[in-house]
Amino acid sequence: MRIELPTLQGRFLRRYKRFFADVELDDGRVITAHCPNTGSMLGCLEEGRRAVLRDSLNLERKLRYVLQALQVGRTWVNVDTGLPNAVVPAEIARGRLPELAGYDNVRREVKYGANSRIDVLLERADGARCYVEIKNTTLARGRVAQFPDAVTERGLKHLEELSKLARLPGHRAVQFFFVSRADVDAFSPAEDIDPAYAAGLRRAAAAGVEILAYRARVRPESLTLERRLEVRLGTPPRP
């Protein structure tokens, strides 16, 4: 997916109050941008790293610019949690995700369950449905991407909702981990950060929820899914 809005690059300074990030542009200006990622962004927030800002062109916004990507080593990492939700349905519609092919209709942000919205709903004429929940993943340890980077009760709730859907006749439920970096070969839950989520992911898989992880090639002006990753769910820790 091409980023159609203008982008600027600079040096990351700090993130604060959860939604604010200061970036020093290459021309010396310091911009306070909106940070759309509510996670800890563990491993990404070192001062001095190269940063990409996206210009919304909306002069009425309090924070006109959006923190889009940070460079970790030689790898760009997408930190905008909204972008994967646009990339995945577009790739499905183009037939580029074989695991999610064969559906007649692709819808985004559809209400389901207990006050939840599914990121992508796939529908066939015969009534079959596939519910796809997308999680942007930025954390990597070695060559393994991990999720979450902070405790996520909301993420656990989504797994429980998906598990209920997976048990319904004619329905599929998919937890899709959009790994927003290209320097990894596998995916696993971050057991040490959120053991409840890791256990919930294993329960969901046992209940029939399909676990998919794809890594993406991130560039300052584009975001492209590359290939499917091996998923390593691990085993529960001993009592």
Which domains occur in the chain, in start order?
Answer: 7-77 (2.40.50.580), 84-231 (3.40.1350.60)
User: In the block, which residue shows the tokens 């949690």?
Assistant: 81
pLDDT at 236: 61
pLDDT in tens, 135-157: 999 999 999 999 999 999 999 99
Percent of the chain with pLDDT over 90: 94
Nearest residue to 147 via CA among 174, 177, 175: 177
pLDDT of 238 > 70? The answer is no
pTM of the model: 0.95
pLDDT in tens, 189-210: 999 999 999 999 999 999 999 9
Q: Is the peptide bond before 148 cis (omega within 30 degrees of 0)?
A: yes
Residue, of 116 and 169, whose pLDDT is higher: 169
Q: Is the pLDDT of residue 68 over 70?
A: yes
- Give residue 237's pLDDT band: very low, low, confident or very high (50, 70, 90): low
> To the nearest whole number, what is the mean pLDDT of the chain?
95
pLDDT tens, position by position, 90-133: 999 999 999 999 999 999 999 886 678 899 999 999 999 999 99
Q: How far is residue 7 CA from its own chain's centroid?
A: 20
How far is CA 134 from each of CA 7, 20, 29, 31, rounded to the nearest angstrom?
A: 25, 24, 35, 30
d(CA 224, CA 206): 30
Please state the rounded mean pLDDT for residues 44-55: 98
pLDDT digits 0-9 by tens, 8-19: 999 999 999 999
E strands present in 158-201: 171-179, 186-189
